[in-house]
Structure 1
Amino acid sequence: MSSVSLTAKAVRKSLLAFAVTSVAFSNISVAEEIQGDQVVERIEVTGSKIKRIGDLAPTPVTVISGSDMAEMGITNVADILNKIPSSTVGISPETSNNFIFANGLNQTNLRGLGSDRTLVLVNGRRFVAGSNGASAVDLNTIPSAMVERIEVITGGASAVYGSDAIAGVVNIITRKHTDGVELDASYTLPEQGGGEESQFSITAGGDFLNDKLTTIFNATFAQQKELRASERDFLNNPVGSIYNPDPDGPARIQYEGRKPLSWINEAGTFFAADGNQYTFDANGNMKLFDYGEGLIEGPGNNGNYCGPSCEGYDPVNYGLIRTPLDRMVFSLNTDYQINDDHKIFTEITYVDYQSNGESSPVFHTYNPVYADNAFLSDETKQLLADTGMGGFNLYRMDTEFGNRTYNQDRETFRFLLGVEGTINDYWDYSFHAQRGQLNETTLWGGEIWADRYEQAKDAVFDGNGNIVCRDEEARAAGCVPLNLLGIGQASQESIDWVSTEAGQTAETVQTSAGLVINGSFLELPAGFISAAFSADYRKEESSTDPDQALIDGTIFGNLASPMSGEYDVVELAAEFSVPLLQDVILAHDLSLDLAYRWMDYSTAGQDDAWKLGLNWSPIEDLRIRATRSKSVRAPNIGELFSPPGQTFSSFTDVCDKINIELGSDGNRKKNCEAVGLGNGWNPSDSWYLSNHPGFNAGNEDLTAEVSDDYTVGFVYSPSYVDNLSFTVDYWAFDISDAINYITVGTAVKYCYDSESLDNIYCDLFTRDNTTGDIIDFVQKPVNSASFNVKGVDIEGNYTLETASIGNFNVHLIATYLEEWEYNPTGFEADLQVDVGEYTDPRWKAMFSLGWDYQDLSLEARSNYRHSAVASNDWLPENNNYNDIPSHTVWDFTGRYDFTDDFTLRFGVKNAFDKAPPRNPYVYDGAGYYDTQGRAFFLGGNYKI
């Protein structure tokens, strides 16, 4: 068969497959490479390092174009990935506010298996991690204006790309060329205000030095403003739950509206011996606490809450639903053509962005105020005297110091240098070396010195009638008395004495190099065998340097320890695509795909990954594909090297005389007796009455996670209907030895419930040799968990072209989840069946209907989440809010090309202002539902 005919057939088939899903999602990308007049042209296929003769890899791939992101009003790569049914929201500005070191991050999470199990690449190569100690990439570092396309490979891909690719790979392909200068701006305005988004970018480039040098530069400035609960009507009126006052109904019921805490507020409250609760007005005068509509009736902790107008602490007033995000991203890509066969390329990225998390002010729930406190009013002193109280515990939110803030500044720099070219007519090579570095600076605001707070609030009169701190040493050190009775009564001097800031710096460095040689050899009757061989080296380093106050624990509520860790890995891999049959009965074409990767980690040791794929077209219109693979994920630096940090915990010792008989299969009793703890043994009385000290730490003995996964599916593109395709893929992941953090209570239980004492749990705690009491423990990650996840991806696309009224496109992409099981310990009692719960609904889908006519394009797009439950384990007698209804959000967008150089984009997101379901678990979005509400966007692109 001639090379020309092979080329024509490959190109024709590739273009057909590409046209199938060309609107926002696609199954393939096409890259043509001509090596001479008579040489076979190789098509670069997504999801593989092979440039092969053919069009489709057996691994399912979804492709999103950068232009479609812009037309949807999306300015962050994470936002489009989170809309894909196969993806679940990872850490994002909507979910990270309560995570001090993570707020503002944008990560994706394929199949809901975790961001660390989703490998993000840029132009097929690794990118430095987005947070210290982790491996997941922060998508804030990718400017949307530089995105050519995004390839999403939702399947085990470790054999091709290495560790972390258990759930799949997101490969972001950046633009390589532009002529002139391109200005782009967009603005999104929510109808209710708050959460505004804006972005401006300038892209410039061209060909220089007689077309030998090609450059493209981009500068992007993007801002997402904060969104507070008080700025959305559905958040300002929250949904919670309470114990049911009616004993004949379910145990808990849904509660609509605000329910402030009834025992603490910003002025301070206390309970007196006369049975009343008191608080203070703004001036510090004592008064009875106003319960408003009264305490919430019912059993349990209902009495801890009161009606909406009561003067208790209301967390809604402090709710930050989305953290603000300010980004500057600079990118420069260059290609220099040395000659016809070789070129040098570089990629330079610099990112600096800030995000500000926020939580309530510091608070105190055990806060002794003595009867001789100088700030007590005469009325309060009289109450204490009359009731025989020597003082009281003050329950208070200390607003004098402001809300606690977590200001993050992340600075990322990445430089890549590479060379690629041809070895001969059939073989190419590519070599690159790169270094990426992330510098994080975290600053805690609204903090206090714990010891100074205690000293300053204990204010008394001295012999001269002056108010001073009781502690003489504190007075000598400059202590200023702090008035906590009322609101705004503390002097600025006392606030300055008590308040402080604390910080931490962290550094993450990634150094890597890789070589890929790919080409074709050995022409079989059905075509050439294509192959790719690669060798990679990577070193990861992370360290943290917290302020001494955080190390010492002298700051309210915050502890941190310095960390330093590193590992390196050497990898060798090979891929083959073997054409078996072509143009015979029941085999329009048939090919076999093989991949193998060997890895040697300095920490986890040696491991391997492999993939076997079959690609079969019995007829030209139908393609059947299947893969079977082993994928791995090596532990990251945080899991391995997190430093020991002290913690305290109370837990049950299962070997005591009450619990020893309760273990299954008799293992517990047998194992307890084996260590001398049978015959009615009990821990000492003091052990039961105390919290026990231990440590949280990393685990340098962790090994790699292993996934056994497969996909089976087909692509149908009937030749008798133009521009129609239908794709179905069944997929399954069986992950073993998954890394899971084990608490001390779990460790003690399963140490003795295992078949023998030779298990991973018994090494996590220590007993006193004499008393048998547990005197020390460490809570750390171990390889104890497993996942079992299965489902079906469905995609359909149809484009109708007309000469008179334009072109219409209908596109559907959906995921059906058959099974989603997680077991953190390997014991049957801990199996979590999550499929059908709101985190993992049975169905997720994305539908679009587009119309193009001359210079105008319009599109309607919807995102659907199937009805779900809060928990599969709940019964009707447990509560009345388990059911969560289905949810659909519609966006309407458009584009008008005024000229070849000027385009206007416009639209309305969440056009019907669909709020999250009114359910205690998801009313605030929970990262799964839109909290922006109806929002209007306008954008423009102008080429100079």
Structure 2
Amino acid sequence: MMPVSSLSKAVRVALLATTSTALLASTSLYAAEEEQVIERIEVTGSKIKRIGSLSATPVTVITGAEMMNMGITNVADILNKLPSSTVGISPETSNNTIFANGLNQTSLRGLGSDRTLVLVNGRRFVAGSNGSSAVDLNTIPTAMVSRIEVITGGASAVYGSDAIAGVINIITRTDVEGVELDVSYTQPEQSGGEESQFSLTTGGSFLDDKLSTVFNFTYAEQAELRNTDRDFLNNPVNSIYNPEWDSSLEDGTPARIPYIGRKPLSWISEPGTFFANDGGQYTFDSNGAMKVFDYGEGLIEGPGNNGNYCGPGCEGYDPVDYGFVRTPLERMVFTLNTDYEIAEDHTLFTEITYVDYQSNGESTPVFHTRNYIEADNAFLPEETRQLMSNTGMDYFNLYRIDTEFGNRTYNQDRETLRFLVGLEGAITDEWEYSFHAQRGELNETSVWGGEIWADRYDQAKDAVFADDGSIVCRDADAQAAGCVPLNLLGKNQASQEAIDWVSTSAGQTAKTTQTTAGLVVNGALFDVPAGYISAAFSADYRKEESETKPDQALVDGTIFGNNAMPMKGEYDVMEFAAEFSIPLLSDMFLAHDLGLDLAYRWMDYSTAGSDDAWKVGLNWSPIEDLRFRATKSKSVRAPNIGELFDPGGQTFESFKDVCDAINVELGPDGNRKQNCQAAGLPQGWNPTDGWYQSNTPGVNAGNPDLKPETSNDYTIGLVYTPDYLDGFSLTVDYWAFEISDAINNIDVDVAVRYCYDSVSLDNVYCDLFTRDASTGDIVDFLQAPVNSASFDVKGVDIETQYLIPTDSFGDFNIHLIATYLEQWETNPTGFAEDLQVDVGEYTDPRWKAMFSLGWKYDALSLEARSNYRHSTVADNEWKPENNNYNDIPSHTVWDFTGSYDFTQTLSVRFGVKNAFDIAPPRNPYVYDGAGYYDTQGRAFFLGANYKL
């Protein structure tokens, strides 16, 4: 028999072969690893429980306790700090995305939230927004997190669709005894963006230890953050055309240069502004009297659209004053998990989650750029009426931000209920089973405030004098309907009655339902000289349903700037999978152990048909201290309900027809000319008169003919845990993704171009528009997702950790995790000229890293942690003539945190985040964070945990 110390080390090495060292590992975690001497281990990336040579798939582990010690109150915030991940939809990026407002999602490898599968205890969770498959991490309470396991590689063979970029498996706590209270508060140095959280967790064992429960209630609140709340946002960095630029010269002079400070629009304002025939621009003062528009420091000089902006002191509209950088978020989460031993080795378990949270987006008030005021308007000041008469004006166009109706708001209420019941246990000494059934439901209510009835606005602003001298709406039918005249000439001139007549709100309800059932049987098949061949067999059923019900006003398009159509869609899928872990060699020269992992999954979708996924992994340890691992897999992602069934709404577009007499000659290799003629358009054809001067009606919608995306990926790496340097580990993994048939939304101009530039007319683009049979004009089009895109992404993950215990000075922990991005190429259309090389741009830096240095002495723990983004460029295709701000410097943010255990029941944590108050780079592309940089600034946090 292997000595206990050797077996303990073998398990630790095996764990490292499967999982990168815990992201925030502490001494207690190492102790936990050492104690797992004979326990069969189940890790993310495999459904096989085993000892020794574990899966070849790399996994990063984050502990829940250390996450909270960092002052983090949302699971998404820690995931988005990982070098292998980028921000998906978040409160920082979703303010103007109406139906996604407030969501918290992550995107592994930056490949998209819908390509990142989030599991809870190894099982699926209901989607966080209607039509999507991505989970909203707002539904996961941090106090319930035991650990988070992150696979950054294709895992469809084990878990099915959506796992192209990887899997995030959130493991909840089962070790709660008694009552645990936890509070935390984060206060930024500048006001705005405050965060608070309270949680109550209780649990225990009952009925002679047959029943165990864990209950948690969490309330968390995140305050809004506005541009005006931060110095670097209140003083933005934009760009303008270079006043010294001459478009006729290529002398290296940049066309655009930075402009630091506010630059209001010079042609639109809150009181309203108009241009008269005398060449002047006018507005209205607080009393409604006309006056000359004040440009402050003057119009910005230079070519292009510089003259659309003016300097500080200008009376124009300034977008800095409106909207959120981060939307406010308020959430309540209730979780109850139970285990009941119904018989020896057989346990009935349940998971119940209820979440209710609100988020509020905000943008400018409604605005009008085609807003005609007639010369007989009753609200015109006499001087304006005289000006119009003197200059021969029958009307003017009033460019206006309508502050009377307040900022437009997007209030979201999301209610999630998930119930899961399952049974697990032992079949024999070697075989186990686990069965579960689940029902999850998301109900969303969206209410848009600050809206107006578009027709009432037009009726109310057209005010005239009645015969009795009173002011009325011109339209008699509008008068009969109750129209109240609306004075738009100056701020705060409209009556409350008029505002009430025009104002409205609109809303939409949406429901998403997920029904799943799954069975897993795993165990040892038989013994071979190198050990046991282990296997897992699984069967899964899943049904996804989504439905939206917008207000009739949204369907009719009678609300300012908004249109929505009802949607209803569903699909189901049946899946069967098998995994095998095969030990090949053991305890031989240059083969301490050698194992092979195999996985295969077959899927049958009611929408996309049948498909499969597979994985092959090799795990080789030539000596006990060194392990090599490699995997190759095929993963798939089936289209989600929104991509398939979105009914969309009407839109109007102006675009180029590549078959006209001029453009048909410019196509590649003669394809365009041949295809246009094959479509019945003769040489020299042109659209009818006026086609280019009008917008063509079309529809934005889903595509029921979509097929699954496919990813071929591989990983090659090593794990080094030298015996002579106890506490040290190094992992290095090279990874690559090649995704084909990726789903991408295609605009009509792209569809028309590639319909005729393809080898033949038999392609996905030609089906997206319709020509008139007699004239040849394009009279209708569909802007929809198609399977046209591809990704080619490669990089290296590096992680090293060194735990240094001392007898007199405590324990030190040094940890580094980094990702080097070798290649990031994407092609949205499949045509060579559209290849985009993004690596090294600010969205995809070459290097990202996290570094931490921790020290623990008795009850005190201190840690310094940094997040690093390498220097980048805004555009790889940059030329000196483009601008002089392409380079974006590297960026490092430091956090200093600590905790102190006053007693066994009371601990306090504290710290300062972004300790050096590092703002995003002062560059027009990223000065506002752009979702990649911290916008909170220096912030202090304090938290406490008390166990009763």
* Cα deviation digits, residues 157-179 of structure 1 (max 9, x gap): 00011100000000000012311
Q: Does residue 346 of structure 2 align to residue 342 of structure 1?
A: yes
| Contact 1:646 1:695 survives alignment (8 Å) | yes
CA contact (8 A) 2:22 2:60 kept: no
Q: 1:543 deviation in Å?
A: 0.2
1:32–1:41 contact (8 Å) kept in structure 2: no
The CA deviation string for residues 438-482 of structure 1, in whole angstroms up to 9 with x for no partner, is 000000000000000000000111000101101110001000000
Flag the 1:3–1:561 CA change in 2: closer, same or farther, 3 A: farther
- Aligned residue pairs total 940
> Residue 98 of structure 1 corresponds to which residue in structure 2?
96
In structure 2, distance between residues paired with 1:802 and 1:9: 20
For 1:75 and 1:84, how far apart are their aligned partners in 2? 16
Q: Helix, strand or coil: the match of 2:674?
A: helix
Q: Counterpart of 2:929 in 1: which secondary structure?
A: coil
State the partner residue of 2:336: 332
Match of 2:140 among 115, 139, 142: 142
Is 1:420 matched up with 2:424?
Answer: yes
Which of the residues 204, 223, 226 maps onto 1:225? 223
Q: 1:31 to 1:814 in 2, by over 3 A?
A: closer
Q: For 1:281 and 1:882, how far apart are their aligned partners in 2?
A: 42
Q: For 1:254-282, what per-residue CA distance to the aligned partner results, in whole angstroms no more than 9, with x for missing partners?
A: 11110000000000000000000000001
CA deviations 1:140-172 (Å, max 9, x no partner) are 000000000000000000001110000000000
Quick one: percent identity of the two aligned structures? 77
In structure 2, how many angstroms separate the alpha carbons of the residues matched to 1:31 and 1:116? 33
Cα contact 1:159–1:609 (8 A) shared by 2: yes
Residue 32 of structure 1 contacts residue 43 of structure 1 at CA under 8 Å; is this kept in 2? no
User: Please, which moves more after superposition, 135-144 or 47-56?
Assistant: 47-56
Cα distance, 1:231–1:378 mapped onto 2, change above 3 Å = same
TM-score for the superposition, normalised by structure 1: 0.98
Deviation at 1:678, TM superposition (A): 3.3
CA contact (8 A) 1:43 1:55 kept: no
Deviations 1:801-826 (A, max 9, x none): 10001011100000000000110100
Of 757, 762, 784, which residue of structure 2 is paired with 1:753? 757
Does residue 260 (structure 1) correspond to residue 264 (structure 2)? The answer is yes
Secondary structure of residue in 2 paired with 1:687: coil
1:782-814: CA deviations, max 9, x gaps?
Answer: 100000000000000001110001011100000
Shift of 1:8: 6.2
1:175 pairs with 157, 173, 176, which one?
Answer: 173
Query: Which residue, out of 48, 65, 68, partners 1:67?
Result: 65
- Write the deviation string for residues 541-579 of structure 1: whole angstroms up to 9, x where unpaired: 000000000000000000000000000000000000000
**1:560 and 1:902 mapped to 2: Cα distance?**
52
Equivalence map 1:427-506=2 (5 Å): 427-506=431-510
The answer for the alignment partner of 2:671 in structure 1 is 667
Give 1:691's aligned amino acid.
Answer: N
Bigger drift between 245-254 and 512-521 goes to 245-254
The corresponding residue for 1:110 is 108
Could you tell me which residue of structure 2 aligns to residue 411 of structure 1? 415
Counterpart Cα distance in 1 of 2:347 and 2:6: 27
How far apart are residue 56 of structure 1 and its match?
A: 3.5
Whether contact under 8 Å (2:18, 2:55) holds in the other structure is no
Q: Is the aligned partner of 1:214 residue 2:209? A: no
The alignment partner of 2:68 has SS state of helix
- 1:24 to 2:24 alignment: yes
Note if 1:378 corresponds to 2:390: no
> Do 1:633 and 1:704's aligned partners in 2 also have CA atoms closer than 8 Å?
yes
Deviation at residue 621 of structure 1 after TM alignment: 0.5
- 1:749 and 1:876 mapped to 2: Cα distance? 30
Q: CA separation in 2, counterparts of 1:526 and 1:304? A: 76
Moved over 6 A (4+): 1-9, 15-20, 26-34
The residue number in structure 1 matching 2:564 is 560
Structure-1 separation of matches of 2:595 and 2:168: 25
- Partner of 1:703 in structure 2? 707
Return the alpha-carbon distance in structure 2 between the equivalents of residues 247 and 749 of structure 1.
33
Q: Does the CA contact (< 8 Å) of 2:346 and 2:424 recur in 1?
A: yes
- 3-state SS of paired residue (1:338): strand
Counterparts of 1:83 and 1:871 in 2: how far apart (Å)? 24
| Structure 1, 674-683 or 116-125: larger mean CA deviation | 674-683
Using a 3 Å threshold, how does the CA distance of structure 1 residues 15 and 568 change in structure 2: closer, same or farther?
A: closer
What is the CA-CA distance between 1:674 and the residue it aligns to? 1.4
User: What is the 5 A alignment of 1:771-920?
Assistant: 771-920=775-924
3-state secondary structure, aligned to 1:749: helix
CA contact (8 A) 2:150 2:167 kept: yes
CA distance in 2, matches of 1:383, 1:622: 87
Deviations 1:11-52 (A, max 9, x none): 464578799834616999989999xxxx98522233211001
SS at match of 1:495: helix
- AA of the residue aligned to 1:617: S
User: 2:591–2:622: 8 Å Cα contact kept in structure 1?
Assistant: yes
CA contact (8 A) 1:150 1:173 kept: yes
1:602 paired with 2:603, answer no
Change (3 A) 1:20 1:357: closer
Aligned-pair CA distance for 1:851: 0.4
1:394 aligns with 2:392: no
Quick one: which of 134, 154, 157 aligns to 1:156?
A: 154
Counterparts in 2 of 1:351 and 1:90: CA distance versus 1, 3 Å: same
Equivalent in the alignment of 1:656: 660
**CA distance in structure 2 between the partners assigned to 1:779 and 1:358 by the alignment:** 27
TM-score, normalization by structure 2: 0.97
- Describe the SS at the equivalent of 1:104: coil
Structure-2 residue corresponding to 1:241: 239
The one of 251, 254, 269 aligned to 1:250? 254
Using a 3 Å threshold, how does the CA distance of structure 1 residues 881 and 138 change in structure 2: closer, same or farther?
A: same
- Comparing 514-523 with 444-453, greater Cα deviation is found at 514-523
Q: How far is the alpha carbon of 1:686 from its aligned partner?
A: 1.9
Q: Measure, in 2, the Cα distance between the counterparts of 1:350 and 1:433.
A: 17
**Counterpart of 2:250?**
none
| Residue 777 of structure 1: how far off its partner (Å) | 0.8
SS of 2:498 mapped into structure 1: helix
Instruction: Please state whether the residue corresponding to 1:638 is helix, strand or coil.
Output: helix
Alignment partners' CA distance in 2, 1:240 and 1:54:
57
Unaligned runs of 5+ in 2: 247-252
Q: Would you say the 8 A contact 2:44–2:150 is kept in 1? A: no
For 2:501, what is the secondary structure of its paired residue?
Answer: helix
CA contact (8 A) 1:230 1:319 kept: no
CA distance in 2, matches of 1:820, 1:20: 24
Please list, as runs of the form range in 1=range in 2, the aligned pairs for 1:182-331 lying within 5 A after superposition: 182-247=180-245, 249-331=253-335
Question: 2:834, 2:146 → 1: CA distance?
Answer: 44
The residue aligned with 1:613 is: 617
* 1:503-560 deviation line (CA, Å, top 9, x unaligned): 0000000000000000112111110011110000000000000000000000000000
In structure 2, which of residues 681, 691, 698 is the aligned counterpart of residue 694 of structure 1?
698
- The residue type paired with residue 691 of structure 2 is W
Q: Which amino acid aligns with 2:121?
A: N
Is 1:353 aligned to residue 357 of structure 2? yes
Inter-CA distance 285–83: structure 2 relative to 1 (3 Å threshold): same
Task: Confirm or deny: 8 A CA contact 1:705 1:783 kept in the other structure.
Answer: yes
Contact 1:120 1:137 in 2 (8 A): yes
Q: Give SS of 2:66's match.
A: helix
Distance 1:561 1:469, change over 3 A: same
Which residue identity does 1:258 align to in structure 2?
R
Q: Is the 8 A contact 1:32 1:44 kept in 2?
A: no
- Corresponding residue to 2:56 among 55, 58, 61: 58
RMSD: 1.8
Whole-angstrom distance in 2 between the partners of 1:40 and 1:118: 33
Structure 2 letter corresponding to 1:118 = T
Q: List alignment gaps of at least 5 residues for structure 1.
A: none
> Partners in 1 of 2:704 and 2:916 — Cα distance?
52
